Amino acid sequence: MRIAIVSDLHANIEALSAVLEHINAQNIPDIVCLGDVIGYGPNPRECIKIMQNARFCLMGNHEEAVMFYGEDFNEKARQALEWTKEQLNSPDHDRTENYEMWNFLGGLEDKHLEGDVFYVHGSPRVPTKEYMVPTDIRNRDKMNEIFSMIPSLCFVGHSHIPGVFTDNFRFLSPDRIGGTYTHQGGKALINVGSVGQPRDGDPRSSYAVFDGRTVKFHRVEYDVRTTMDKIYATPGLPNYLADRLIVGR
């Protein structure tokens, strides 16, 4: 059975809606989310409501921060964090609905294992916080420890940069492999990229489809300008969070 794997939605409902339409057009029944449904973007409530219906959703560092404290967040991220908390406590919405959203966030697991496939937001070592970036492939100590914790395949997000890390110390960008990776043994860690805030120089949303052996990376255009304008119009969100969307950084 094919599943769609999304991550790092970052309260970007325009991006999420475009990705869901793309997923639905392929008749894919199940969606899993690797975390960071919220943070940075202007529509946290709408994105939470949608992800409440996912097959499962994991805790990202932004969910963890909104539940506890984002001590490692920079100033812009912390401003967005405080604004997000206000939205989830908004008296303009039914109190029961607010409670349901907080209960959903508080109940998220930080990792998930299905057979020999491991799902996590950041990395197997530090589920919500550790980044896996392409240059890590040269850090053999880090990669060896990471792969020792993976039964076969591991899907991650967090860095917002899609690609495949293999246990023979190669990083395969989606462009390099024609958008498709077929697992043929050994171990691999696969970053599905970001739906709501790509950071690989391509502003289009990124997600992946997995059929148990093959991973297909997808890029989906969405109405970036509408999301940007919403952020510009929101006093609690720094303009920088809009500016970066158009350049995919």
For residue 89, CA distances in Å to 12, 66, 82 come to 19, 12, 11
Q: What is the pLDDT of residue 74?
A: 81
Q: What is the pLDDT of residue 70?
A: 61
Q: What are phi and psi of 104, to 5 degrees?
A: -60, -50
Strand locations in 54-144 (E): 56-57, 111-114, 117-120
Strand locations in 115-193 (E): 117-120, 153-156, 163-166, 170-172, 180-182, 188-191
**What confidence tier does 68 reach under pLDDT thresholds 50, 70, 90?**
confident
| 237 close to 42: Cβ distance less than 8 angstroms | yes
Q: What is the pLDDT of residue 226?
A: 98
Furthest CA-CA distance within the chain: 53
Q: Which two tokens stand for residue 85?
A: 């908390």
**What confidence tier does 204 reach under pLDDT thresholds 50, 70, 90?**
very high
Mean pLDDT of the chain: 95
Closest-CA residue to 132 (of 148, 156, 168): 156
**What confidence tier does 135 reach under pLDDT thresholds 50, 70, 90?**
very high
CATH number for the domain formed by residue range(s) 3-247: 3.60.21.10
Q: What is the pLDDT of residue 25?
A: 97
CA distance 154 to 190: 6
What pLDDT digit, counting tens, does each position of 71-116 carry? 678 888 889 899 999 999 989 889 999 999 999 999 999 999 999 9
Query: Can you give the residue ranges of every domain in the chain?
Result: 3-247
Q: Which two tokens stand for residue 193?
A: 């990229």
The pairs formed by 73-81 with CB atoms below 8 angstroms and a separation of 24 or more are 76/238, 76/240, 76/241, 77/39, 77/40, 79/236, 79/237, 79/238, 80/39, 80/40, 80/236, 80/237, 80/238, 80/241, 81/39
Closest-CA residue to 215 (of 197, 244, 192): 192
What pLDDT digit, counting tens, does each position of 7-66 carry? 999 999 999 999 999 999 999 999 999 999 999 999 999 999 999 999 999 999 999 999
